[in-house]
Amino acid sequence: MRKFTIVTLFLLFFFALKANTNQSYTEVVNGVEFDMVFVEGGKFENKGVGYEVGNYHISATEVTQELWEVVMGTTVAMQRDKINPKLPLAGVGDKHPIYYVSQKEAKEFCERLSRLTGRKYTLPVWQQWEYAAKGGKRSGNYKYSGSDNANDVAWINSVSTHPVATKASNELGIYDMSGNVYEWCAGEGQLRGGSWMCDAICGEIERVNLRDARSRDKIVGFRVVENQKESLYKGTNNIEINVKGVSFKMINVEGGTFQMGSNDSEASSDEKPVHSVTLSDYYIGETEVTQELWEAVMGSNPSGYKGSKNPVENVSWDDCQDFIKKLNKLTGKNFRLPTEAEWEYAARGGNKSRGYKYSGSNTFGDVAWYWHNSSREPHPVGTKTPNELGLYDMSGNVWEWCSDWYGDYSSSSQTNPTGPATGSGRVLRGGSWIGRTSCRVAFRGNDSPGGRDHLGGFRLALRP
């Protein structure tokens, strides 16, 4: 009877913990409390471009001086003294936001807070920050976080910082996302939210500021997020873009280091030597560019195998550059072709890679349209199983242009390589609907920049 009672209590406790993942909570660290607000994931727009985030928690307020002190062991005055003891302080008090904090120090705070609590705290990526500032799924579409009247929700044009949560909150119960102190986000040098020293315009939700990540200032602090353990490819920080009624999605690829090339028995000589490549974060198209998107941008369709959801084909590398220029003009973004390294890293599944031979599987037919299942023609994109990142058709369907000139690999480690400076052929990757061996993730092809046929298309890339 006693054993049954213990098991029952354990199960009740376990399921209570799972239920609480979708609720706001209060954390206590060395006697100091702070509130974390649950944000249900969803979609939002920034300047006409669609974005998507998953579920997460974000702190209800900026990190306070008392919380900073119990985690890091320094006061705001001590932070100031690291720069110059003669600099002024801009508000001192337990409930005032911490400031004179660099982005690196803010990230170190998150690491220490995580160790103290057993949770995983980080700085928010800008998409998480903005989605929360806009009120998430409860958004009233305000100019500032919680109101169209800055003075209702923001400390601006003031003489110093103010205690957190003394203005009205936004729709989610989050305070001071417009004004009080600028807030570090995860991207290099990214700041959002405005400050006590600035005009109202600085507190507009979509306004972006950049600063040296090593700098400390009396107008800069931060808040934290806790990310839920869920599939990134279900939506964290992916971008959805609409062009003349045609939507397409760009998948966020977290940077990392991988071994590029292959020593397998099937490997061609140009796949060697295997070498280490490190890449920064980027976005890559969820699918190959479709005929409907090409036609929306270019006004014509060069493809031989017509179908709105089929990949565009019969396009040269030069044709792709013309398309990208027009697309960038329509969207205000800076799309481009992926580098060969970016293409292979994404095809392998990025930092979620399971080491498959083809993109997403060792069973070719699960992920690719190729010679034995294609009926000798391309097929609508996204109809096979995606790879670990949620990318479709990186093996088979149509070859995909990359930005690089084709050339021999170097044995040296490289960071964000862009290929040879010159050449006669541009890189093609992924194989096609008539291939098989050529659809391996490491296989390399090339053609002249003006070459085109019904086997070749492309997908897009974009820097954050």
Q: What is the pLDDT of residues 326-369, one digit of tens each?
A: 999 999 999 999 999 999 999 999 999 999 999 999 988 889 99
In a domain, 2, yes or no: no
215 pLDDT band (50/70/90 cuts)? Answer: very high
The mean pLDDT of 292-303, rounded to a whole number, is 97
Asked if residue 19 belongs to a domain, the reply is: no
Domain count, the chain: 2
Which residue segment(s) compose the domain that 134 sits in? 29-39+53-227
Compare 62 and 463 and report the one with higher pLDDT: 62
Residues 261 and 404 in one domain: yes
Q: Out of 209, 227, 245, pick the residue that ends a domain.
A: 227
Show Cβ contacts of residue 99 under 8 Å, excluding neighbours closer than 6 positions.
76, 79, 90, 161, 181, 216, 217, 218, 219, 220, 221
In this structure, is residue 10 part of a structural domain? no
Residues 328 and 407 occupy one common structural domain:
yes
Tell me the pLDDT band of 3, cut-offs 50, 70 and 90: very low
Asked if the structure places residue 271 within a domain, the reply is: yes
Model pLDDT for residues 132-187, shown as the tens digit of each residue: 999 999 999 999 999 999 999 999 999 999 999 999 999 999 999 999 999 999 88
pLDDT at 91 (0 to 100): 97
Res 233 pLDDT > 90:
no
Angle, CA of 184, 220 and 93, to the nearest 5°: 120
Same domain for 293 and 182 = no
Q: What are 5-18's pLDDT values in tens digits? A: 443 444 434 334 43
In this prediction, residue 146 carries a pLDDT of: 97
pLDDT at 19 over 80: no
pLDDT recorded at residue 7? 39
- Measured CA angle at 279 (ends 278, 285), to 5 deg: 145
> Could you report the per-residue pLDDT of 183-206, keeping only the tens digit for each?
999 887 889 999 999 999 999 999
If asked whether residues 179 and 57 sit together in one domain, one would say: yes
Tens digit of pLDDT for each residue in 316-327?
999 999 999 999
Beta carbons within 10 angstroms of residue 381's beta carbon: 26
Compute the average pLDDT of residues 241-246.
91
Distance CA(143)–CA(459), nearest Å, equals: 35
When pLDDT is cut at 50, 70 and 90, the band that residue 21 belongs to is low
Q: Which residue, among 120, 12, 140, 115, has the nearest Cα to 57 in the 3D structure?
A: 120
The chain-wide mean pLDDT, for the chain, equals 91
Domain assignment present for residue 245? The answer is no
**Do residues 298 and 431 both lie within one domain?**
yes
What does the block give as tokens for 424? 């006669």
* C-alpha dist (Å) from residue 463 to 187, 251, 282: 12, 11, 5
Is 357 inside any structural domain? yes
Does residue 189 share a domain with residue 335? no
The pLDDT value recorded for residue 388 is: 93
**Left if phi > 0, otherwise alpha if psi is -120 to 50, otherwise beta: which for 91?**
left
CATH of the domain at 222: 3.90.1580.10
Is the domain of 306 the same as that of 383?
yes
| Percent of the chain residues topping a pLDDT of 70 | 93
Residue 435 has a pLDDT of: 85
